[in-house]
Amino acid sequence: NHVPAYDYIVVGGGTSGLVIANRLSENPDVTVLVIEAGGSVYNNPNVTNVNGYGLAFGTDIDWAYESVNQTYAGGAKQTLRAAKALGGTSTINGLSYARAQVAQIDAWEKLGNDGWNWDSLFPYYKKSESFQIPDAARAEAGHMTWVVEDHGLNGPLKTGWAYTQANTSVPVTLNTTLQNLGLEWNPDINSGYMNGFSVMPTTADQTANVREDAARAYYYPYQGRKNIHVKLDSLVSKLTWKSGCETPTAEGVVFSSNGETFTVRAKREVVLSAGALVSPLLLELSGVGNPAILKQYGIETVVDLPTVGENLQDQLNNGEAWTVAGNLSVTGGQTYVAYPSFSQLYGNGSSTVASQLKSSLPAYAAQVAAANGNATRASDILDFFNIQYDLILNDELPLAELLFFNSAGSWASQYWGLLPFSRGNVHIGSPNTTAGGLIDPKYFMLDIDTSIQTQASRLARQTLHTAPLASFVGSELRPGANVTTDAEFAEFLKASYRSNYHSVGTTAMMAKSKGGVVDPAAKVYDAGVLPFQVCGHLTSTLYAMAEKVADAIKADQHES
């Protein structure tokens, strides 16, 4: 029974996994196997279309994971989208390229991750990126601005604006409108400070006018390397363990393909990057997790680590719509973005809400811990909440994101609170497959999340009612002008929200004593590793993290 062996096995050929596979296979002396559940989508028009957001939803490349009933939001289930394809969720996402704020990456170091801060990550944002500078005429027409020294110009991932994106007078009108509300023009949200209004860059190949996903950036141009092998349409079900090791060490993985089951061995490392909603399940199926949960499925505990699958943080997405009154044409993608701070959302009420929030943190932490069966400790959660509070109030992180666009002939805004306090979890629902995981984000568990989402709604409405935009807007279609009180907004938000598809935290990188799952020399690398939400969209930070991690793995190679 010959078991094939590679130096590295990457489980999940997605956004993060393909970066690692690419960088490790730069060394011709090591072999890399990528095992991906989906197939190639290189020529799939639902993927390549830069203005085709949503086309892939519900197709066979959408995992469309279903949550459990959401207790705090009327009981209904939610669909959490993620892609089953080489390139992972970067093949179906909204293409937004937005990083994070300096202080929130610096906060990772406070959680016990030595060497993880903005200054150490920033070179990797640039390393991953190939920013396509638009010509002056297009930049002026589309109101695109950027700070060139904050971008990489030679990395694998093309960013910028495709020719069919962002080419209208809308940003000027919106910019003046938002300035009237105190939000300044931000020349480049990717420089580490995100507050204000901007025209957001995207992951698009501007010349080819196609989506730039992880496979186009990190795999196809390099597929000729003899030492990288990609196994498509193959579902990993668990890790295998080396025998006789004092510290449990992964030896390989088991996967199925075409109805057959295979085992493959890693001579050096197994890298898990199956996404925040799957990697923790693979750990559990392999005996790493909460013994009480593992026991229910007859799985023997290899590592007692109750926080696996905990700390799940997703955002709430809601939308509003208005009829169009004047002649303001909008074409292209949803790239007009506002990032208001706490004080811009709460205005005169800021100091009252801030002190109420501060005094509520211990009760919130206790509520989160209790709702998760105390797998995470209230004292640890309170530490995170205090850091989060400081980031919001002292470092003035943006608290919400608002996108503005024309949708099927009406004006629309979509918005979400960026830094939810509610935390849920994801655990296995079967003893032998990642399918049917029990996903419970606990949307709206804490009333501060509802309050922030309400203020974002109110700001969207206020924007549409402020000059000069107001003269182009007719009546409010959704939620309707009769929705004004906190209670009315809460009802509307809970009845109409969806997942923002930004799940993080389920294999959090932080000190084990604080409930961390992955240490800084992580063996799991995907969105699950982020200990907190970031204010930008996730892929930019995931590409940068994976670049940094790949360098660390390579440094290990030289030492060993």
Chain residues binding ligand FAD by CB under 6 A are: 11-16, 35-38, 81-85, 88-90, 92-96, 235-236, 273-276, 278, 434, 501-502, 526-527, 537-540, 542
CB nearer to ligand FAD: pick between 33 and 542: 542
DSSP letter string over 258-292?
A: TTEEEEEEEEEEEEE-S-TTTHHHHHHHTTEE-HH
Can 537 be counted among the known catalytic residues? yes
Structural tokens at position 271: 């890298």
Closest approach, Cβ 272 to ligand FAD, in A, equals: 9
Pairing of strands 316-324, 410-417: antiparallel
54 CB contacts (<8 Å, ≥6 apart)? none
Closest approach, Cβ 429 to ligand FAD, in A, equals: 14
DSSP letter string over 281-323?
A: HHHHHTTEE-HHHHHHTTPPPSEE-TTTT-SBB--EEEEEEEE
CA distance to 27, 143, 499, per residue, from 467 (Å): 57, 19, 32
Closest approach, Cβ 331 to ligand FAD, in A, equals: 18
CB nearer to ligand FAD: pick between 317 and 457: 317
Choose, from 151, 229, 537, 558, the residue flagged as catalytic.
537
156 CB contacts (<8 Å, ≥6 apart)? 22, 128, 130, 217, 218, 221
Q: What's the CA gap between 188 and 79, in Å, rounded?
A: 33
- Helix, strand, coil proportions of the chain in percent (round to 5)? 35, 25, 45
Choose, from 143, 151, 427, 502, the residue flagged as catalytic.
502
Cβ atoms < 10 Å from Cβ of 188 = 19
Closest approach, Cβ 528 to ligand FAD, in A, equals: 7
Phi, psi (5° rounding) for residue 25?
-80, 0
CB nearer to ligand FAD: pick between 141 and 254: 254
Cβ atoms < 10 Å from Cβ of 513 = 8
CB nearer to ligand FAD: pick between 307 and 334: 334
Cβ atoms < 10 Å from Cβ of 69 = 11
The residue nearest ligand FAD at its CB is 14
CB nearer to ligand FAD: pick between 62 and 476: 62
Q: Is 243 exposed, middle or buried (0-12, 13-18, 19+ CB in 10 A)?
A: exposed
Closest approach, Cβ 214 to ligand FAD, in A, equals: 7
Closest approach, Cβ 55 to ligand FAD, in A, equals: 11
- Active-site residue numbers? 502, 537
